[in-house]
Amino acid sequence: MNAERAAIIVSQLDIRMMPTMILCKNKKVDRKLQGLDAFSSDGNLNVVNVERVLHDMGFLEEVLFDDKNQLDSLRDAFQTTLPSDDDSDSLDL
């Protein structure tokens, strides 16, 4: 969402920094993740870590991208070049 165009929503959800993820369960805000610290303390965002964290928090039912074949299918879906396995399967989001 474009925060500049959604000032009322940003205010109501008390979003103070970008990125912010609002995670909902049962039509209610369950938690708010501000910044990238929940996924990586050094700011190096990785799709595998994001998926694991969201799974551990109960927002994903299964983990898919811990498998090289699944990561390859993600590369194909977005038709982009991602770092090789030697580069820790990072996907800059």
Reported residue count of the chain is: 93
Same domain? For 47 and 84 the reply is: yes
Same domain? For 29 and 53 the reply is: no
Same domain? For 72 and 57 the reply is: yes
Same domain? For 51 and 83 the reply is: yes
* pTM over 0.75, yes/no: no
Q: What dihedral angle (degrees, nearest 10) is formed by the CA atoms of 39, 1, 7, 44?
A: 20
CA 58 to chain centre: 14
Q: What is the pLDDT of residues 44-87, one digit of tens each?
A: 778 888 888 888 998 888 877 766 666 677 667 666 555 555 55
Beta carbons within 8 Å of 72's beta carbon, 6+ residues apart: none
Give which of 17, 18, 25, 22 is closest to 61, Cα–Cα.
25
Same domain? For 29 and 54 the reply is: no
Mean pLDDT, rounded, of the chain = 77
State which amino acid sits at residue 25.
K
Same domain? For 55 and 11 the reply is: no
- Specify the number of domains making up the chain: 2
- Residue 23: domain span: 1-35
